[in-house]
Structure 1
Amino acid sequence: MDRTAYSLVATDLDGTLLRGDDTVSDRSLAALARVAGAGARHLVVTGRPAPRVRPLLDRLGCTGLAVCGQGAQVYDAGAHRMLWSVTLDRELAETALGKIEAEVGQVHAAVDQDGVDGLTLIEPDYLMPHPTLPAVRVERRAQLWSTPISKVLLRHPELTDDELAATARAVVGSLATVTMSGPGTVELQPCGITKATGLALAAEHLGLERRRTIAFGDMPNDIPMFQWAAHGVAMAGAHPELKAVADEVTTTNEDDGVAVVLERIFGTS
């Protein structure tokens, strides 16, 4: 594969670039350094909101753009500001949540607040899928809607993620976009907003083309990004829905699957 074919490398974080302990391996860091050395750009494209990504961007040495919040935020790490962001209407979110609960019974909810310093607020019975990420527990659901939000996160005590996501899509309609971004992570985000919309905005700002973009991911929320990019690479442990649309499958995130492909494209020295 010609290393000049790609000028933009877009990587998901959880289950993709990150190992299970939230670290990036030395091999992956070296591969990303070779991407930069070849004149290409690396963009993080993640479901995590900007405040939950900032420490990791610092570790990666990223001072440019990152696509956060499932595409609802394009964050400038160097300037510590949002280049672009869109919020989920709180009344629509509350209505969507009510429609879902009318079908499946009580769900446990959380929200990511908008902004570079927004908090993650969680209901009393909501369990964070990533216990390492900070969250503030509130006493009542009404407190989730206290300030503008970028998305709602949902968990059900009995249904699988696939079952919950399927029901949510069936009843929410145009109130919000439903995504599944990882184990225990079904989300509602602004209607029409996906990782692809955020990635397209960031690429346009940087003067980069979709036909020269390679993307890496592991969950159904990465499907729009794969459809936008020229080449989509799913991790070995990826959700079957993503593997079905991927151009290739690499090794797992624990086995440096991103680096394996980047080394093939950009070389090892």
Structure 2
Amino acid sequence: MIQHIFLDMDNTLLSPDGSISPKNISVIQNSSIPVSLVSARAPFEMQFAIDELNLQTTQVAFNGGLIYKPQTNGYQQLYSQAIDPQTVKKIMTIVHQNFPKVSLNWYSDHTWYTDKNCQETDAETAITHEKPVIQKTSANLTQTIYKFMVMSFDPILFDRLQNYLKQLDLPDLNVMTSGDAYIEITPISATKANAVAHIQKEEHLKIDQLAAFGDGENDIPMFKHVGLPIAVANASQEVKQYAKFVSTSNREDGVANGIERHILKK
């Protein structure tokens, strides 16, 4: 019997406009099974969902780089793995020099930074309802950085960027695509699987008592660490290969339908 559900946010729990459908809210709130969001987002970008779903459980940001428990004023940090400051500067220099037209973004736990406003950052603001702080890549960094997100709506440029980053010697980092225009860079130990394992140990659960929903490449490690991996219909074929079931899409209440059909009816 499933004792904990883990949910990816973008393109899984969230509709294309970044909202949570009424049915998803209703099914999650009325289920007695604990739910954790496991997202590439920063905590401040996750908070609206935590509030709407009334979640009291441990949550996961930055693909596992930050595990925390929400509190009335902020959160209690349970695990943290940021990017080494020297590596932060290296990534900034490489991307800025070789791909000046892409959108380079970096995140602390409280702030989204970018090198420039552009159509990609405007689109991200439309989804997250957050606005970035413009900062030069040459600026002296004092913040702890958990994630880079590099974006381009130019498919040719995006493919070049993706191939270039994945061929770099970055042994301490994960470089993963998210959708058709996003590349996320996080510490190698910051994975959704490690985050799920942390919560599993905290709650003394077995793998076959865990379920997860996802759509993207960064969800595959999480799928491998749960007994019931469920992909939404809009997931890539690669992700679907690791799923036990495929639900409806994120446009069609995929999480709610998956919970009703494959978890609550068990």
Q: TM-score range, shorter-chain basis?
A: 0.7 to 0.9
Q: Any gaps of 5 or more consecutive residues in structure 2?
A: none
> Pairwise mapping of residues 75-114 of structure 1 onto structure 2 (< 5 A)?
75-78=68-71, 80-99=75-94, 107-114=102-109
* 1:249 and 2:246 correspond: yes
1:117-176 deviations in Å (ceiling 9; x for gaps): x10011114532422331333241133833111011112464365553343122143041
C-alpha displacement at 1:21, in angstroms?
A: 2.4
C-alpha displacement at 1:44, in angstroms?
A: 0.8
CA contact (8 A) 1:236 1:249 kept: yes
Cα distance change of structure 1 residues 156 and 91 upon mapping to structure 2, 3 Å threshold: farther
Q: Out of 84, 97, 115, which is 1:123 matched to?
A: 115
* 2:9 alignment partner AA: L
Q: Which moved more, 1:70-79 or 1:216-225?
A: 70-79
CA distance in 2, matches of 1:43, 1:120: 22
CA distance in 2, matches of 1:175, 1:107: 23
Query: Number of matched residues?
Result: 258
CA contact (8 A) 1:44 1:66 kept: yes
Q: Secondary structure at the match of 2:124?
A: coil
C-alpha displacement at 1:67, in angstroms?
A: 0.8
* 1:59 alignment partner AA: E
Q: Out of 51, 59, 63, which is 2:44 matched to?
A: 51
CA contact (8 A) 1:96 1:175 kept: no
Identity of aligned residues (%): 22
* 1:109 alignment partner AA: L
Q: Which moved more, 1:214-223 or 1:14-23?
A: 14-23
1:36-78 deviations in Å (ceiling 9; x for gaps): 1xxx221111111111111221111012211111110112113
CA distance in 1, matches of 2:140, 2:225: 33
C-alpha displacement at 1:94, in angstroms?
A: 2.5
CA root-mean-square deviation: 2.4
Q: Secondary structure at the match of 2:40?
A: coil
CA distance in 2, matches of 1:241, 1:163: 21
Cα distance change of structure 1 residues 198 and 165 upon mapping to structure 2, 3 Å threshold: farther
Q: Which residue number in structure 1 is paired with residue 233 of structure 2?
A: 236
CA contact (8 A) 1:138 1:144 kept: no
CA contact (8 A) 2:39 2:60 kept: yes
CA distance in 2, matches of 1:241, 1:93: 30
Cα distance change of structure 1 residues 8 and 90 upon mapping to structure 2, 3 Å threshold: same
| Structure 1 segments of 4+ aligned residues over 4 angstroms from their partners | 97-106, 160-163
CA contact (8 A) 2:174 2:187 kept: yes
CA distance in 2, matches of 1:265, 1:139: 46
* 2:50 alignment partner AA: L
Q: Secondary structure at the match of 2:146?
A: strand
CA contact (8 A) 1:43 1:66 kept: yes
Cα distance change of structure 1 residues 267 and 241 upon mapping to structure 2, 3 Å threshold: closer
CA distance in 2, matches of 1:254, 1:156: 23
Q: Which residue number in structure 2 is paired with residue 180 of structure 1?
A: 177
Q: Secondary structure at the match of 2:17?
A: coil
C-alpha displacement at 1:187, in angstroms?
A: 1.2
* 2:89 alignment partner AA: E
CA distance in 1, matches of 2:248, 2:140: 38
Q: Any gaps of 5 or more consecutive residues in structure 1?
A: none
CA contact (8 A) 2:108 2:144 kept: yes
* 1:149 and 2:145 correspond: yes
Cα distance change of structure 1 residues 34 and 209 upon mapping to structure 2, 3 Å threshold: farther
Q: Which moved more, 1:149-158 or 1:47-56?
A: 149-158
